[in-house]
């Protein structure tokens, strides 16, 4: 058991060193970076295998049963998901990598939930994610003001966690001799990683949605083949009859503008090959042609002001009402004493600083 734990410690140290080196590099799309990234991912996967083989974490344990030195291994799934999300590739490969990273983030949160390491707000976010992973958002509300407040609050939480981590890491020697301080550092690292996990899950859901809208590979190949044939046909026409394609117009001919939209609408399986619009009748075309050349208003001024007030875009207050002072309750002795002390302090300030005493520029 001790030998296997030492092996986990050594493999984890190597993986952490590789990850730190990758964070300092900017060539994320280079072949050398991707090779180093693949090696680091394999090291973290090996760490997970060792931790599972030695039963490092058990659902029957509590957080107090985990030693301070083993808390860092709770981040293995998070580190793995973070690295998998940086793998480059095509659309299909990218989608597979994102789904794999998503599952690793889910395992990380599940493990923290088993040890009751999630805060109340994080538990609510986890429930929201489990209900709808594809549309998950850290600010799941349609109110713009509330979304702004949530974003600001999460930004402040992230900033506070960063400052705490930097403060705890400033003196590594003290951490080595103080188990409580070292444990606090590990728990803060887990809290920061959890905060980043929900932000990453939101980003992954958005990217997966965008990738799901991409056309299938066969449609892209058919579209590319059509464009290539049109380009070769156009080049042949220009070579055989240059006068046929000459024009003194500055804009391109209509045939060039619509060249990318030629060909069949659907493939043999019924999948669309290019965008198109379905119309019900010629009346819609007439309404689109015979209309004013300016945009008509879609709401009244009162409706616009009400919408701006709901979004928080109107600052209320001020004016004559702001000059009305509230009436003071004469029976409230605390308020009266505060007003008396404020008046005394102002009188003492006026006596100590007579009018003109600060103007020393024009004195002789």
9-51 pLDDT tens trace: 899 999 999 998 888 888 888 888 899 999 999 999 999 999 9
Give the homologous superfamily in CATH for domain 8-142+150-215.
Answer: TAP42-like family (1.25.40.540)
pLDDT of 346 reads 92
Helices (H), 261-313: 282-289, 301-311
The pLDDT > 90 percentage for the chain reads: 17
pLDDT of 108 reads 92
- Structure tokens given for 258: 């619509």
pLDDT of 134 reads 86
Give this prediction's pTM. 0.57
The pLDDT > 70 percentage for the chain reads: 75
**Rounded to 10 degrees, what is the CA torsion of 115, 121, 127, 133?**
-110
Tell me the Cα Rg of the chain: 33
**Nearest-angstrom CA–CA distance, 276 and 260:** 12
* 3-class state of residue 246 by DSSP: coil
pLDDT at 3 over 60: no
Q: Give residue-wise pLDDT tens across range 286-337.
A: 777 777 777 777 788 888 888 888 888 887 766 666 667 767 677 778 888 8
């Amino acid at each position: 058991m001790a030998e296997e734990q030492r092996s986990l410690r050594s493999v984890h140290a190597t993986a952490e060193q590789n990850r730190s080196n990758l964070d300092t590099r900017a060539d994320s799309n280079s072949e050398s970076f991707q090779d180093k990234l693949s090696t680091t991912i394999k090291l973290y996967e090996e760490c997970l295998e060792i931790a599972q083989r030695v039963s490092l974490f058990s659902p029957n344990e509590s957080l107090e049963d985990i030693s301070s030195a083993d808390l860092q291994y709770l981040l293995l799934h998070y580190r793995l998901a973070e690295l998998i999300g940086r793998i480059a590739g095509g659309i299909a490969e990218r989608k597979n990598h994102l789904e794999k990273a998503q599952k690793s983030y889910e395992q990380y949160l599940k493990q923290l939930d088993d040890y009751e390491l999630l805060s109340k707000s994080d538990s609510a976010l986890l429930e929201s994610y489990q209900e709808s992973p594809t549309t998950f958002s850290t600010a799941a509300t349609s109110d713009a003001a509330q979304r702004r407040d949530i974003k600001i609050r999460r930004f402040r939480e992230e900033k506070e966690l960063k400052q705490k981590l930097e403060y705890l890491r400033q003196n590594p020697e003290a951490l080595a001799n103080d188990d409580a301080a070292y444990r606090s550092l590990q728990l803060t690292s887990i809290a920061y990683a959890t905060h980043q996990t929900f932000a990453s899950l939101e980003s992954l859901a958005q990217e997966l949605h965008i990738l799901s809208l991409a056309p299938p590979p066969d449609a892209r190949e058919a579209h590319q083949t059509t464009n290539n044939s049109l380009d070769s046909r156009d080049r042949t026409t220009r070579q055989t009859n240059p006068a046929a394609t000459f024009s003194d117009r500055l804009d391109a001919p209509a045939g060039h503008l619509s060249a990318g939209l030629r060909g069949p609408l659907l493939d043999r399986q019924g999948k669309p090959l290019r965008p198109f619009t379905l119309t019900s009748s010629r009346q819609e075309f007439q309404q689109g042609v015979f209309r004013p050349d300016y945009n008509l208003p879609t709401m009244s001024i009162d409706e616009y002001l009400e919408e701006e007030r709901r979004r928080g875009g109107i600052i209320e207050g001020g004016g004559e009402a702001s000059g009305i002072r509230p009436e003071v309750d004469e029976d409230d002795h605390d308020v009266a004493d505060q007003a008396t002390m404020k008046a005394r302090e102002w009188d003492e300030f006026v006596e100590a600083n007579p009018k003109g005493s600060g103007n020393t520029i024009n004195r002789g």
